[in-house]
Homo-oligomer: A and B are copies of this chain.
Amino acid sequence: MRIALCQINTTVGDLAGNVARVLRDARRAADAGADLAVFPELCVTGYPPQDLLDRPAFLDDVDAAVEHLAQHAPDGLALLVGAPVRNDTPVGKRLFNTALLLAEGAVQAGVSKTLLPTYDVFDEYRYFEPCPEREVIEWGGLRLGVHLCEDMWNNEEQAPYHLYAANPIDELAALGVDLFVNLSASPYATGKPTERRRLIRESCREHGVPFVYVNQVGANTELIFDGDSQVQSAAGEGLWHAPLFEEAFHVWDSEAPGDPVEVAPEDVTAEIHDALVLGVRDYVEKTGPGVFDKALVGLSGGIDSAVTCALAVEALGADRVVGVTMPSAYSSSGSVDDSRALAENLGIEFHQVSIRPAVDAFRAMLEPLFAGTDEGVAEENVQARARGVTLMAISNKFGHLLLTTGNKSEMAVGYATLYGDMSGGLAVLSDVFKTEVYRVAEHVNARAGRDLIPRTTITKPPSAELKPGQVDQDSLPPYDVLDAILERFVEQHESPAAIASETGYDLALVDRIARMVDRNEYKRRQAAPGLRVSSKAFGPGRRVPIVMQRTRINTAGQGERVEGAPAATAVDA
C-alpha cells in the first residue's frame, strides 16, 4: 500500500482552512498514486481546540467539515484524519478524540484515543472519554494498528511505573497488525525528537511491525509543534524523517519500504531557534491577515531584546519589524548605540524615544504622595512602565504586535516589571533560560556569517539599567548557577533542600531563589503567552497557586516555614 504522510500546519478553529489544507495534500497524494493519506490528530479542528469543544455549534460545524472531506476526497484515495466525534451514549464525557478513515464518500471506520494526557499543558480528559477497547482497521489488504499520539507513549516495557493501565501498542500487536499508524499532535520540547524516535524504534523492534507516524507542525498560541513525522521499518530503522518545523509530504510504499536513512543528532540550540521563529510567524499569520502588520520590539541594547528582534526578523522579514530604543537618565550610551547597530545590521525600521519627559512628569505628579520616602522599586518601575506605555501606544496606533523580551530565568525570579517590560502580546524567550539565550544569539550570528547581534551586546554584563550602575548580578547569582537551580526547582520539582544537597550550592541561596519563584507567580499569571520549548514552561502547563502559604510540621512537631516559601507567615501547629 502506498501511504502519504501529510505533516500539515493547521489553525485552531479554522475548519474551512484546515479542510482546504487536507484536500490540498490529498490531491497531491492521489497524484502520487497513494492509496491512503494520513493526517495529524484533530487536524480538522487544529490542536488544541480547548473550550471550543464546549460549543455545540462548533461540533455541528466539525461534522459538516468531516462530511465535506469524505465527499471531496479524490477517488480511490482513503483519508485518515483526526476529529472530535460525539459520544452518543448517555454516560461519560461527550466526545471522543478519533481517527476517522474516510473513503468512497463516507466514514469507513473510526478508532478513538485510549490514553488521554491530562498533565502539564494537556487537558484531554476535560473533553474526551477514553476509548474502552482496541480495534484493528483493515484497509487495502493491510491490518492497520491505528492509534493517536499518547496511545504510543505507555509502551516502556522496562519502566517501573505506568501512567495508564492500558497499553494500546501491545494490545494492537496482540490483535495482529501489519503496520502501526499514529496520528499525533505532539508539541516540541527539547529532547522530544530523540525520545520520540527511540520510543517508535522500540515498538517496531518489540513487535516486528513497521510504523508510520504523522504529527502536526506549526504553532498555536504558545504550543509549537515540530512535526517530526517519520516511517520506521519493522527493525526500527528510520526510513524517512520529515524536516522539523515546516510542512512536509512523503509517500511511502509498504511493498517497497526502502533503505534506512541517517538522522543527524539533535542540535538543541538550532531547534529552539527554529521553534521560536515558527512560533512568532504563526502567531502573527494565524491571528489573521491585516491584524498585525508588523512586530514591535523595545531594544535595550541587551541580549534578550536583540535575540527577540533577530528572531522576529527571521519570522516576518526585516520590513515587518520595528525596533524602538527608549533611553532614560540611567541608560548607558551603549544601550542606544548597540540598539542602533542591531537595527542597522538587521535592516529594520528604528526609532528613539527618550522616556525622560514621562518619568519627570510622574515624579512631579507623585511628589506630594512620595515626599520623604526613599527612591526604590516604585521609581525603578515607573521607568519600565513609561517604556511599556510608549511601546503600547505605538502598537495601538499602527497595529504592531508588541513582543516581550524577558527570558525564563528572569520570569522565574520575577526580575521583570508588570505593565512595564512585560507589556506585549507574545513572550518569545520566556521558556529559554538566560544561558541558552546566549547560545541562540551565537547561533543567529553563525547562521548569518557575521555578528548581526553586536558583540558588545553579547559581552556586556546584563543590566536592567533602572538605577545607576545596576547589574543583574547585584541581586542574582551568576546565570549558570541560577539556571541550574531553576531547572531543578521549576522543571524537576525538586525541593530547595534536595537541590542544595545534590548541587552543593548554599541552602540559603537556593531557598532565596525558590522563594522568589513562588512569590512571583502573580506576575507570571499576567504575563503574555510565552512560546513553549521545554517540558515545563510557565503558563497553562504549570498551575501554581498565587495565594498560598508554605509551612509544614517538622520532626519535632513544630510548625515551620518551608524553604522557598514566599512569605514569613505566623506558624503554629
The answer on a CB contact under 8 Å between B366 and A357 is no
The answer on a CB contact under 8 Å between B370 and A16 is no
Chain B residues closer than 8 Å to A394, beta-carbon distance: 366, 369, 378
Chain B residues closer than 8 Å to A282, beta-carbon distance: 547
The answer on a CB contact under 8 Å between A553 and B373 is no
Residue interface bits A37-67, CB-to-B below 8 A is 1, else 0: 0000000001011111011110001001100
Q: Which B residue's beta carbon lies closest to that of A558?
A: B16
Q: Tell yes or no: A1 within 8 A of B by CB.
A: no
Q: Tell yes or no: A123 within 8 A of B by CB.
A: yes
Residue interface bits A105-131, CB-to-B below 8 A is 1, else 0: 000000000000011000101100000
Q: Tell yes or no: A562 within 8 A of B by CB.
A: yes
Q: Within the complex, which residue of B126, B164, B522 is in contact with A425, where a contact is CB–CB below 8 Å? A: B522
Report which residue of A283, A354, A390, A551 has the largest number of chain B beta carbons within 10 angstroms of its beta carbon: A551
The answer on a CB contact under 8 Å between A12 and B90 is no
Q: Within the complex, which residue of B65, B92, B389 is in contact with A362, where a contact is CB–CB below 8 Å? A: B389
Restricting to A355-371, which residues have a CB under 8 Å from any CB of B? Answer: 355, 357-358, 360-362, 364-366, 369-370
Q: Tell yes or no: A141 within 8 A of B by CB.
A: no
Q: Tell yes or no: A163 within 8 A of B by CB.
A: yes
Q: Tell yes or no: A332 within 8 A of B by CB.
A: no
Q: Tell yes or no: A528 within 8 A of B by CB.
A: yes
Given that A16-B552, A46-B548, A57-B498 are contacting pairs, would A366 and B390 also be in contact in the complex, using a CB cutoff of 8 Å? yes
Restricting to A60-79, which residues have a CB under 8 Å from any CB of B? Answer: 61, 64-65, 68, 72
The answer on a CB contact under 8 Å between B569 and A288 is yes
Restricting to A378-430, which residues have a CB under 8 Å from any CB of B? Answer: 378-379, 381-382, 385-386, 388-390, 392-394, 396-397, 418-419, 423, 425
Question: Can you list 12 A-B pairs with a CB-CB distance of less than 8 A?
Answer: A13-B549, A52-B544, A56-B495, A68-B553, A92-B163, A118-B126, A283-B547, A353-B366, A358-B358, A360-B361, A378-B397, A392-B419
Given A369-B394, A369-B397, A386-B389, 19 other A-B contacts at CB below 8 A?
A: A12-B545, A14-B550, A14-B569, A15-B552, A20-B573, A51-B544, A55-B493, A55-B495, A57-B562, A92-B165, A118-B118, A288-B567, A351-B369, A358-B361, A358-B365, A365-B390, A366-B397, A381-B396, A385-B419
